[in-house]
Structure 1
Amino acid sequence: MIGTMRINLIVATVAGIFTFALSIGNNLLLSTCLKSVYSFLILFVLSFGFRWVLGLMIGAEHAAVGTAQSLPAEDSPVGQSLDLTTPDLDDETRQMMKANLGDNNVSTGTDMQFSPLNPPKLVTKNNLDPEQLAGALRRMSED
C-alpha cells in the first residue's frame, strides 16, 4: 500500500465535514451527524482500497522495470538515436515537385468545370378524392 493511515483519516474527515456542511440546512442535527459518520466510514474504507490498487500498480511497474534492467542489453545501435534533420533538397527533388505541381494545375482547368446542382422537382397532388383520403386514414388507424 502507498502512504499511511493519515491519508485515510484526512480524506474521510474532509468527506465527513463536507457532508455535515451540506446536509445541516435540510436535516435534523441527529440525521446530519449520522450521515456524516456514514460518509466518514465509507470513505475511510474506500481509501484503503484505492491505496491498495495504487500499490499494486506501482509494484507491477517496479517489477517490469526490474526485469527490463536484468535482461542483457544488446550492442546493436538500432533504436538508440533519433535523427530529426530533414534532408537537403537537390535538383532532382525540385524537378519532381515542379512536375507534380504543373500536372495538378493543368488537370484542374480541363477536368473540373462548374455545373450547378439540379435536384428533381417535388410534385404535390392538389386534387385528391376526399373519400380515398378518408379510406386511407381508416386503414392506417386500424393497423
Structure 2
Amino acid sequence: MKSAFRISLGLALFGFILTLFLSLSNNIFSTSLIRALVSGGLLFLVGIAVQWILRLIAEPGNPLPPIEPPSGRESIGRTLDLSTPDEQDELNRIIRQSETPPTAEAAFEPLHPPKLTTKTDQKAQDLADALRTMTEK
C-alpha cells in the first residue's frame, strides 16, 4: 500500500513540476502554481485509480461469481426482445398505393405569382422626407 502512494506521489510531483515550468512562460507565477497544483492532484488521483484497477484485475483470490440467468417470474422485465414484428403486408400495401397512376383531377397546374413592380413616379421631395424620417428614428 505504501508503494502505491509513493508511485502516485511521484507521478503527481512529476506532473506538478512539468506543468509549473511549462506554464511559467505564458502565465504569471500564481496562475502557474494553481495549474500545477491541479494537475498534480489529478495525476495523483489517476495514479491511485489505475493501481486500484490493476490490483482488482491481478488479484486471483477473489473471482467474481458467475452470473446465472433468472428463470420463471424473476426473468420478467430483465430480458430484451430485439425482434421486430413482421410488417411485410403493410409494406406491400404502401408500395401498391404508390404505384397507382395519378388521376386526371390531380393534373399539374403552374403557379402564377404576381409581378413585382417599382414606382417610378416618386418625387425627389418625397424620397428626401422618407430618408429624414428613417434617420430620425
User: 1:128 Cα shift?
Assistant: 0.9
Q: How many angstroms does 1:125 deviate by?
A: 0.8
Answer yes or no: is 1:135 the counterpart of 2:129. yes
**Equivalent residue, structure 1, for 2:54:** none
8 A contact 2:12–2:41 mirrored in 1 = no
Name the structure 2 match of 1:14. 18
1:76 aligns with 2:74: yes
Query: Would the aligned equivalents of 2:11 and 2:43 in 1 still touch at CA under 8 Å?
Result: no
For 2:75, give the aligned amino acid: P
Change (3 A) 1:16 1:102: same
What is the SS of the residue equivalent to 2:135? helix
- CA drift at 1:94: 4.4
Query: How far apart in 2 are the matches of 1:80 and 1:42?
Result: 49
Structure 1 residue ranges, 4+ long, deviating more than 6 angstroms after superposition: 51-55
**TM-score using structure 2 length:** 0.50
1:137 CA displacement: 2.2
Aligned residues between the structures: 107
**Percent identity, aligned pairs only?**
28
Select the residue among 99, 102, 112 that pairs with 1:109: 102
**Paired residues for 1:1-143 under 5 Å:** 4-19=8-23, 23=25, 35=28, 39=32, 41-47=33-39, 50=42, 76-85=74-83, 94-106=88-100, 109-110=102-103, 113-143=107-137
Let me know the Cα RMSD of the aligned residues. 4.2
If asked which structure has higher relative contact order (CA below 8 Å, sep 6+), I would say 1
- String of CA shifts for 1:33-54, please: whole Å, max 9, x gaps: x946862x21343246647998
TM-score (norm 1): 0.49
5+ residue gaps, structure 1 = 24-31, 56-72
Alpha-carbon separation, structure 2, partners of 1:77 and 1:7: 47
Structure number with the higher helix fraction is 1
Structure 2 gaps, min length 5:
49-69
